[in-house]
Amino acid sequence: MTSRRVFLKGSALAMFGVGALPAWLSRSVYAGDSSERRKKILVAIFQRGAVDGLNVVIPFGEQRYYELRPSLAIPKPDGTPMSAVDLDGFFGLHPSLAPLKLMFDARQLAIVDAVGSPDPTRSHFDAQDYMESGTPGFKATSDGWMNRALPKIAGPGSPIRAVSLGASLPRALRGRNDALAVNSLNDFQVRDPKAAAAFESMYEHTVDPALSGTGKETFSAVKIMQSIQKQSYTPANGAKYPGGRFGQNLQQIARLIKADVGLEVAFADIGGWDTHVNEVGAQPALGQLANNLADFGQSLAAFYRDLGDRMADVAVVTMSEFGRTAKENGNRGTDHGHANVMFVMGGGIRGGKVYGDWPGLGEEQLNEGRDLALTTDFRDVLGELVSKHLGNPNLKAVFPGYENPKFRGLLG
Amino acid sequence: MRLPALLTTGLASFFLILPALSFGKPSKEAEDAKRQAKLFQKKLSKDQQVQHALDRLTFGPKPGDIARVKKMGLKKWLDLQLHPERIPENRDLEAKLQPLESLRMSPMEAGQHYPTVQMIRAIAAGRQPLPEDPVLRASIQRWIVRYKINKNKEDDTEMEPAKTLEETLAPPELYTLRNGKPDQKRQLLESMPADKLEDVLVALPRGQRQQLFNNSPADVQRRIMLLNSPQQVVAYDLLQAKLLRAIESNRQLAEELDDFWFNHFNVYYDKGSDRFLIPDYEREAIRPHVLGKFRDLLEATAKSPAMLFYLDNFQSVRADIDANSKRKVKRGLNENYGRELMELHTLGVNGGYTQHDVTEVARCFTGWTIQDPRRGGAFFYDDKLHDKGEKMVLGHVIPAGGSIEDGEKVLDILAAHPSTAKFISTELAQRFVADNPPPALIDKMSKTFLDSGGDIRQVMKTMLDSKEFWSQGAYRAKVKTPFEMVASSVRALDANVTDAWALANQVGNLGEPLYRKQEPTGYSNLNSDWVNSAALLGRMNFAVQVSKNQVQGVKTAASQSAELIGSPDFQRK
């Protein structure tokens, strides 16, 4: 299979020349990696800044929630847009996330609560680093879990196997497998052909240890991107992505998925969750967090709609470095806490359920007397996706040092 | 993202050299560390030394710089750079900074000079009275006299100008403005007296005004911005100044350190009032101390409205303040500043503090607030808001009954702490020497830090006297940040910069929007964070544009230079 694929790729380049590879051919070149089924794709989303999970998935069934958060608590579901959206009689979604209810009801969205990293750090930086390296508490890990999660393949894979949207390559995607940072699909090129050829040769021949590998990866990806750039993109099924960076990045991931150029893992992030002050506005369901969640939820919903049937091959997982204090602080905000919430969405996900063991919000149930306690390790969630969705059985290499992952049964 | 110092030991540079390196292969890592250590013992040639000094301590050499340093003598040049006050500043640069008036304003003045469009509309429509403050009144009147007052119009509709374009311009002028080539329009605008220019700009519809922006001289750009987005005027001045100083200042090391310290004590332009607090912050808290005492720098930032606002301390009050009040929303302690002060400003994340220390430090800083925070007031200590109880910070007792001195004592403790000495030395060495600086160098710098009472100039001198700085291990070992890459390109091409706005936007596109790093970590110091496909393509495209004179406000005669600026070698310093 591999040799046939390489042959196809080589002959296609020979026939059409660099840059003239037609879209249909680039598709057949990379779509055929696995003859029996299409490649599964994992999309990871990082909410940087520690989103306040207790106001994302609201434990409205627990009275303590309302005692701890007199000015922040989202009211119990009462059918109005200022109250929680009921999921199961105990948990509800923040009303800004109402677009996700559709996916939850269609059993394609699962929620894992009281989940996160077991490391106690409350440093944004360290906690993000641990979650992206996949080795909490261990700083010397040089690569990221998502790079290690790529299944082993024989021969050269698509240069577009692993992509992050944005101007930098996140920690999660760094490592031995090629991974691209893409600011925008349309700009992924050198705009002057003469200079492009000169640069390609320079980066091909440089001995610079940092730049040569990245340079070569970049130029082989540029050739594949050219076929995508030739076609304009209209989201399918009337999907409307919000205009912000996050929505636009998800749209570009959808475009890459549909172009069938060999994408296996993709990464996007969204910031602005560090709500120490004025987390809510005139009402708990309004203000800073509500606005940010609206962008987040509408973007995910548009992605789901746009991909349509292709969601069968896709799983999306969201995470944030830690949760926030269960009790509100003195500035209508929350400080750094511990456990949080994750969303898992996709055609193969057993959705429509809130997973995890709810630890409760009683004084003695809180972590260090202040934060939601942790009952699920984030690696249990990611590990299940890596092994059952991506089909990479070697979890010991993806999450070194994590001996006995306890899958929650998110996938069949 | 900037990796805190301790994290990077044995990590960052290996990562790039051995991308295949993975978890659990210590022998290869150890081997590489050995090879790396040897490189820090290997000396540079005389020529390499000069090149290295200009690469690291300036925003890249300009044509002729190498010869100039050789003629002066490297030692003398280094000594001068460590004493920027002895170097006469470039007059051309000073002239270019002159029109950027917000750089010299207090936060209050900046707020008054650049009223929001909503405010002007509301007053022009008669819904709000003119403000009493004379400066704000004048800056609003300057615009509203140019509008017809219509009390029935909604807030978000365009106001009707008092004079139409036809009434303001002679027919040939009008023709040029409408149909002329970009250069003709530019000439026309440049030739107008200020009053007439403002009439014209007001009479133009918003969109047409914006279309003129890119081809206009800096002065006209600033006026367009005042009309279309006054909240961006301060950013415009800050970005222009940052690029112009990096490119043209004779005090290059001081400008490098301004960038380093601003980034170390990062604040974010788009967080509320910070948009008019930042010029004061950079001018008063950062720039005077870049080679001064760390303790002074630390206190200047701790008491700056920009930092108090950015890390929320201005709202942090003793936890019991509203215990007996009927306020619906009870005020209280906010840990944000206390934590970042230790994690990012002083001790470093592994510097030996606990969650308990974070809370105690936050208690010490209660009452450190801002007078009238939404209007650009100054630092203000409010004893009523201060937690008077006893606190325990890193094993030191802060006795009950204290006031402003509680926070000052915390700054004393932190500034003199060995973890701070090590953390600051490591960060400096990562910026100026290598991602993974040798421990022996950090020890020397930390010792100087502690012996000199945190004298930054002495710490820098220790670094510049070390064999590690002048070694093969350091030579060409750093990848330029986008800011350094853009500034060094312009310097290498000896390009003439009349307007640095487009250049600053290029820095942003390459992943480093200046004054706009939202997280308190600031931007990364490390190679691995700046090398990726998007960044490389961005740099190559910038190289093409700047060499073809396609970057607005920048002219170079070296039109064949794209291959130099976009080359792998030029990304190094």
Q: Do B562 and A71 touch (CB under 8 A)?
A: no
Of A7-16, B44-53, B98-107, B453-462, the poorest mean pLDDT is in A7-16
- The stretch B541-557 carries a mean pLDDT of 94
Chain B interface disruption, residue of A178, A246, A329, A399, most B CBs within 10 A: A329
Nearest to A180 among B15, B312, B533 (CB): B533
The C-alpha atoms of residue A309 and residue A89 are separated, in whole angstroms, by: 30
How many CB atoms neighbour CB A269 within 10 A? 22
The C-alpha atoms of residue A361 and residue A367 are separated, in whole angstroms, by: 9
Closest Cα in chain A to B560? A195
Q: Is A67 in CB contact (< 8 Å) with chain B?
A: no
A378 Cα to chain B: minimum distance (Å) = 19
Q: Is B509 in CB contact (< 8 Å) with chain A?
A: yes
Q: Which residues of B touch A210 (CB under 8 A)?
A: 16-17, 479, 527-528, 531
Chain A interface disruption, residue of B533, B536, B563, B570, most A CBs within 10 A: B533
Closest Cα in chain B to A200? B567
Q: Does B142 score more than 80 pLDDT?
A: no
pLDDT value at residue A2? 38
Give residue-wise pLDDT tens across range A216-226. Answer: 999 999 999 99
Band (pLDDT 50/70/90 cuts) for residue B149 is low
Q: Does B23 score more than 70 pLDDT?
A: no
More confident site: A316 or A210: A316
Q: Which residues of A touch B548 (CB under 8 A)?
A: 192
- SS3 per residue for chain A: CHHHHHHHHHHHHHHHCCCCCCHHHHHHHHHCCCCCCCCCEEEEEEECCCCCHHHCEECCCCHHHHHHCCCCCCCCCCCCCCCCEECCCCCEECHHHHHHHHHHHCCCEEEEEEEECCCCCCCHHHHHHHHHHCCCCCCCCCCCHHHHHCCCCCCCCCCCCEEEECCCCCHHHCCCCCCEEECCHHHCCCCCHHHHHHHHHHHHHCCCCCHHHHHHHHHHHHHHHHHHHCCCCCCCCCCCCCCCHHHHHHHHHHHHHHHCCCCCEEEEEECCCCCCCCCCCCCCCCCHHHHHHHHHHHHHHHHHHHHHHHHHHEEEEEEECCCEECCCCCCCCCCECCCEEEEEEECCECCCEEECCCCCCCHHHCECCCECCCCEEHHHHHHHHHHHHCCCCCHHHHCCCCCCCCCCCCEC
Of A95-99, A367-371, B443-447, the poorest mean pLDDT is in A367-371
Band (pLDDT 50/70/90 cuts) for residue B150 is low
Stretch 273-302 of chain A: residues touching chain B, C-beta under 8 Å: 274, 276-277
- Write the CB contacts of B211 (distance below 8 Å, at least 6 apart in sequence): none
* Spatial strand order in the sheet of A85-86: A57-58, A92-93, A85-86
Q: Which residues of A touch B335 (CB under 8 A)?
A: 276, 329, 335-336
Q: Does A248 score more than 70 pLDDT?
A: yes
Mean of all residue pLDDT scores within chain A = 90
Give residue-wise pLDDT tens across range A90-148. Answer: 999 999 999 999 999 999 999 999 999 999 999 898 899 999 999 998 887 889 999 99
Give residue-wise pLDDT tens across range B318-353. Answer: 999 888 888 767 788 999 999 999 999 999 999 999
Q: What is the pTM of this model?
A: 0.85
User: Could you identify the residue written with the tokens 């969204």?
Assistant: A270
Stretch 318-337 of chain A: residues touching chain B, C-beta under 8 Å: 329-333, 335-336
Domain ranges for chain B: 104-234, 249-415, 479-573
Q: Do B329 and A332 touch (CB under 8 A)?
A: yes
Q: Which residues of A touch B334 (CB under 8 A)?
A: 276-277, 329-331, 333, 335
Stretch 62-121 of chain B: residues touching chain A, C-beta under 8 Å: none
Q: Do B568 and A188 touch (CB under 8 A)?
A: no
- The stretch B429-445 carries a mean pLDDT of 97
Stretch 334-363 of chain B: residues touching chain A, C-beta under 8 Å: 334-336, 339, 343, 349, 355, 358
pLDDT value at residue A37? 55
| A·B CB contacts under 8 A | 199
Domain ranges for chain A: 1-37, 38-398
For B114-168, give the DSSP string. S--HHHHHHHHTTSSPPPSSHHHHHHHHHHHTTB---TTS-TTSPPPBSS-HHHH
B163 Cα to chain A: minimum distance (Å) = 37
Q: Is B30 in CB contact (< 8 Å) with chain A?
A: no
Q: Which residues of B touch A171 (CB under 8 A)?
A: 1
Stretch 204-263 of chain A: residues touching chain B, C-beta under 8 Å: 206, 208-215, 217-218, 221-222
Band (pLDDT 50/70/90 cuts) for residue A12 is very low
Band (pLDDT 50/70/90 cuts) for residue A368 is very high
Q: Which residues of A touch B549 (CB under 8 A)?
A: none
pLDDT value at residue B217? 83
Band (pLDDT 50/70/90 cuts) for residue B7 is very low
Closest Cα in chain B to A122? B355
pLDDT value at residue B26? 56
Nearest to B349 among A123, A274, A276 (CB): A123
Chain B interface disruption, residue of A69, A143, A171, A211, most B CBs within 10 A: A211
Stretch 453-482 of chain B: residues touching chain A, C-beta under 8 Å: 479
pLDDT value at residue A19? 43
ipTM exceeding the 0.90 mark: no
pLDDT value at residue B2? 43
The CATH-assigned architecture of domain A38-398 is: 3-Layer(aba) Sandwich (3.40)
Q: Which residues of A touch B526 (CB under 8 A)?
A: none
Give residue-wise pLDDT tens across range B492-526. Answer: 999 999 999 999 999 999 999 999 998 899 999 99
Q: Do A169 and B543 touch (CB under 8 A)?
A: no
A287 Cα to chain B: minimum distance (Å) = 14
Q: Do B531 and A211 touch (CB under 8 A)?
A: yes
Q: Do B358 and A400 touch (CB under 8 A)?
A: no
Q: Do A214 and B519 touch (CB under 8 A)?
A: no
Nearest to B541 among A129, A176, A191 (CB): A191
